[in-house]
Structures are given as C-alpha cells and as structure tokens.
Structure 1
C-alpha cells in the first residue's frame, strides 16, 4: 500500500503533532501558544522544511568575512494553513542558515508568482 500526501498537508500535520505533544507535556491549552513560540524561534527551519518549490537567486554577499558560502534561495510553501514565499540563506549541503524575508499569500498561485519574481 502506498500513502502519499501533499507537502502542505504534511507541514500542517507536523504543526498539529507539535501542538498535541506540547499539550501532553504542559497541559491543555498550552500547546497552541508554545507551538507558535517554537515556530517563531525556528522559523527558517520550519519554512525550509515546508517548501514545495525553490529557485536559486544567487550567492549571498556577506559583509563579514565568512569561511563558507551561502546561496539565496527563493521558496514557496505552506505552513500552518497559509501559503508563503520566503528568501532563505542556504549552505552547499542544503541547510538553512537564515531567512531574509517572508510574505504570506492566500493561494499557491500567488506565493509561486512571488517566488518566481524574487530577486
């Protein structure tokens, strides 16, 4: 048997599972608030994992003299029931190191359009 689901559904499921686990640990009602704090603290990682599409924009020119290079990647995806477009800083191994900006949209079409026009 093969089960599959869209990445948007999967990312919503991850957030719901996080909320449920936090409610078990900290009591009823605490899960929602704590889940949003986790989301804020680790937003770049959550958004990177929730992406459905990505587009390379270019290398990241850092003001600091860093020993490694980062790329700017435009992504679109769905997290917590909302479509978004974000510009991420990603290393050569595909690990996010930060987020330069993020906008939310009502539909995948608008989020994808924003990703395609990101610079």
Structure 2
C-alpha cells in the first residue's frame, strides 16, 4: 500500500518555528543547537511526522516478548531542507515506534530514487 500526501513545506516551517521559539527563550546562538538536540532526541517521531510518502514493507517479527504487532514501512520526507528515506516500525494505530535506518539526500530526485528501490 502506498500513501501519498501533498508535498509541502510544513516540516521546514515546524523546524523554523522550533528554532525561533528556542532563540527567544535561550538566545540566538543557542536556538539552532537546541533544535538539533530536540530533533535527535525525538528523531523517529519528527521523521514520521515529516513523511510525504509511505510504502508498506511487511510485518515485523522482532520478538523480544513484545505483545504489539508492528509493521515495517519505508518513508520519504523532508526535514530542515534535507530529504530522507527511512525504515520505520509502526504500530496498528499508525504511530511510529522506532526508526531502523535513515539515509539523507540533498535533492528530492535522489531521495525518490532511493525510496523506489526496494
């Protein structure tokens, strides 16, 4: 199943708003650095929210005694003017649980080619 959402600058606006708010609170020099730390700490959620396309890869049987059913999906998106393709674990309610891997790209065409390669 492929889900397509309209391409927008929403992720870039969110990042700009985060940086702006942090600059107001902590000063211009700290805003960008703190935003980067926030992004790293909540990486899976930020990338999931910034997705533009989704492709289902299959069920995830990771074991570990977890009683939750997860799916592996590949996503294409953009955060802070950088394109990415990532493999995520998603629960049955559509919530990201983990990011298994991510590649970053400078151009959308490169990212779309990587997203298409299964």
TM-score scaled by structure 1? 0.89
Q: Where does residue 13 of structure 1 map in the other structure?
A: 13
Runs of at least 5 residues in structure 2 that lack an aligned partner in the other structure: 1-5
Matches within 5 A, 1:1-119: 6-7=7-8, 9-118=9-118
Whole-angstrom distance in 2 between the partners of 1:71 and 1:26: 39
Q: Indicate if the aligned counterparts of 1:55 and 1:116 stay in contact, CA closer than 8 A.
A: no
- Structure 1 28/107 Cα, relative in aligned 2: closer, same or farther at 3 Å? closer
Answer yes or no: is the 8 Å Cα contact 1:58–1:73 preserved in 2.
yes
Task: Provide the rounded CA distance (Å) in 2 between the counterparts of 1:64 and 1:39.
Answer: 27
RMSD across aligned positions (CA): 1.3
- Paired residues, what number? 113
Unaligned runs of 5+ in 1: none
Bigger fraction of residues in strand? 2
